[in-house]
Amino acid sequence: MFRKGLLAFLLILAFVLSGCASPAAQASLPSGLAPDKRVVGYYAQWAAGRGYPVSSIPATKVTHINYAFSNVSVNGECILGDPVADIEQEYTAAESVSGKADSSAGTALRGNFHQLQELKAKYPYLKVLISIGGWSWSENFSKAALTDTSRQAFAKSCIDLYLKQYKGVFDGFDIDWEYPVNGGLTDNGRPEDKHNFTLLLAELRHELDAQGAADGTHYLLTMAAGAGPGMDQHYERDQIAQYLDWINVMTYDLHGTWDKTTNFNAPLYQDTNDPGDSSLNVDAVIQDYLGAGIPANKLVMGVPFYGHVWKSVGYTNDGLYQLSEGPKMGNYELGSLNYTEIVSDYLPTYKRDWNAESQVPYLYNINTAVFVSYDDPDSIAAKAGYAKDKGLAGIMIWELSQGNAYMLDAIQKGFQKGGTPHTAPTRDPNAVIIPRPFSAQFHSVSGITVDGKLDDWTGDPTFTLNDKTHLAYSLSSGSWAGPKDLSGQIWAGWTPDGLYFAVKVVDDVHVQTSADANIWHGDYVEFQFDTQLEKDRDKKSMNGDDYQIGVSAGDFASVPPFAYAWFNGPDAAGPITIQQAQTKTPDGYILEVFFPIAVLKGITLNEGAIFGMNVSLSDADDPNTGQKAMLSTSPTRTYADPTTFGAITLVK
CATH code at 391?
A: 3.20.20.80
Instruction: Say if residue 402 is in the same domain as residue 495.
Output: no
Rounded mean pLDDT, 543-555? 93
Q: Which residues does residue 131 pair with via DSSP β-bridges, in sequence order?
A: 68, 174
Positions marked catalytic: 178
pLDDT value of position 111: 96
Q: Give residue 331's identity as a one-letter amino acid code.
A: N
Helical (H) or strand (E) element with 145: none
* pLDDT tops 60 at residue 523: yes
The tens digit of pLDDT for each residue in 237-286 reads 999 999 999 999 999 999 999 998 999 999 999 998 888 888 899 999 99
The tens digit of pLDDT for each residue in 586-639 reads 999 999 999 999 999 999 999 999 999 999 999 999 888 888 999 999 988 877
Rounded mean pLDDT, 183-188? 83
Q: Where are the alpha helices (DSSP H) in 127-227?
A: 141-144, 148-158, 193-215
Share of the chain above pLDDT 90, in %: 79
Range of the domain at 491: 439-651
Q: Give residue 201's identity as a one-letter amino acid code.
A: L
CA-based torsion, 445, 647, 467, 516: positive or negative: negative
Say if residues 375 and 255 touch (Cβ distance below 8 Å): no
* pLDDT tops 50 at residue 22: no
pLDDT value of position 439: 87
* pLDDT tops 60 at residue 498: yes
* pLDDT tops 70 at residue 452: yes
Rounded mean pLDDT, 490-515? 96
- Three-class secondary structure assignment of 16-76: HHHHCCCCCCCCCCCCCCCCCCEEEEEEECCCHHHCCCHHHCCHHHCCEEEEEEEEECCCC
Contacts of 503 (CB under 8 A, 6+ apart): 488, 489, 490, 491, 525, 590, 591, 592, 593, 615, 617
Note whether residue 322 is domain-resident: no
Q: Give residue 502's identity as a one-letter amino acid code.
A: A
Least reliable range by pLDDT among 219-233, 292-306, 414-428:
414-428
HSE toward the beta carbon, residue 2, CA cutoff 13 A: 0
Q: Give residue 624's identity as a one-letter amino acid code.
A: N
Instruction: Say if residue 97 is in the same domain as residue 130.
Output: yes
**Quick one: 395 exposed, middle or buried, by C-beta within 10 A (0-12, 13-18, 19+)?**
buried
pLDDT value of position 434: 52
pLDDT value of position 540: 60
pLDDT value of position 40: 98
pLDDT value of position 623: 81
Note whether residue 457 is domain-resident: yes
Instruction: Say if residue 410 is in the same domain as residue 465.
Output: no
Instruction: Say if residue 410 is in the same domain as residue 542.
Output: no
* pLDDT tops 70 at residue 24: no
Note whether residue 330 is domain-resident: no
CA-based torsion, 220, 224, 227, 230: positive or negative: negative
pLDDT value of position 533: 80
Residue ending a domain, among 417, 448, 472, is 417
Note whether residue 311 is domain-resident: no
* pLDDT tops 50 at residue 196: yes
The tens digit of pLDDT for each residue in 146-172 reads 999 999 999 999 999 999 999 999 999
* pLDDT tops 80 at residue 17: no
pLDDT band per the 50, 70, 90 thresholds, residue 477: confident
Note whether residue 332 is domain-resident: no
Share of the chain above pLDDT 70, in %: 93
Rounded mean pLDDT, 90-96? 95
Burial 329-345, CB ≥16 within 10 A → b, else e: ebeeeebbbbbbbbbee
pLDDT band per the 50, 70, 90 thresholds, residue 18: very low
Strands 64-72 and 351-355, bridge-based pairing:
unpaired
pLDDT value of position 23: 47
Instruction: Say if residue 387 is in the same domain as residue 460.
Output: no
CA separation, residue 265 to residues 145, 226, 307 (Å): 32, 14, 7
Instruction: Say if residue 280 is in the same domain as residue 146.
Output: yes
Query: DSSP characters for 425-462?
Result: PP--TTS-SS--S-EEEEEE--S---SS-STT--SS-S
pLDDT band per the 50, 70, 90 thresholds, residue 537: low
CATH code at 635?
A: 2.60.40.1190
Contacts of 618 (CB under 8 A, 6+ apart): 520, 523, 524, 525, 526, 550, 627, 629, 630
Distance between CA atoms of 505 and 490, rounded to whole angstroms? 9
* pLDDT tops 70 at residue 432: no
Note whether residue 5 is domain-resident: no
Distance between CA atoms of 585 and 503, rounded to whole angstroms? 12
